[in-house]
Amino acid sequence: MGESKKTAGEPYHERQSLWFCGQHTLNNLLQDKVFTKEKLDNIALELAKQVDLTWRSYFINPHKSLLGVGNYDINVLEKALMNEGLEVQWFDDRKDIQTAIQFTDETLIGLILNVPTTRFYLWTSYHWIAIKSIDNKITEIYNLDSKLSKPEKFKDETEVYKFLKSVIHKNGNILLVKKSKKDEDIK
């Protein structure tokens, strides 16, 4: 699977393998090898069985690649994060990005981006990317795209917001991954 490494002074980073950008994004966001192909395939199967209780859900699964090479959809990523006690909030692009996304927010684990990518000049598919602030420091925000050879540290917060605005401009999506509020609701 994707090459992973954590070098001194840099965050954990898994490199792209086949269409497993969803798996790499989750692991890069959580800064450890939390999810394997098997775990995500099981989540995809569980989701498919909720809709189709026949044998077809084992072979034709709308939540992952038919060929078994990843390409997990948002339902798999959301369920995987929920299993880790996290929640996903979709960014409403009508809001001001700098107000809605605060990297100093202690509940913010990081961002997942879903960006359009043209393949072989023929079709557009989507690619998952993790953006993470290390220790909630605005001076330590990284692009953990699995297609990069190593994590790229943003120069400053302005550069991060400029990058996020470009994702929205290209019809991409931004998802905020936060610690679950369920514990707070009980109190």
Interval 18-65: pLDDT, tens = 666 888 999 999 999 999 888 988 888 787 766 655 555 455 665 455
The answer to whether 169 is a known catalytic residue is no
96 is catalytic: no
Lowest mean pLDDT among 47-56, 84-93, 150-159: 47-56
- Fold of domain 13-186: Cathepsin B; Chain A (3.90.70)
Q: From the candidates 13, 24, 63, 127, which is the catalytic residue?
A: 127
Of 13, 21, 41, 73, which is the active-site residue? 21
Distance CA 2, CA 10 (A): 17
Is the pLDDT at 13 greater than 50, yes or no? Answer: yes
Comparing 90-94, 109-113, 180-184, the range with the smallest average pLDDT is: 180-184
| Exposed / middle / buried, residue 59 (Cβ in 10 Å: 0-12, 13-18, 19+) | exposed
| Domain boundary assignment for the chain | 13-186
Catalytic residue list contains 21: yes
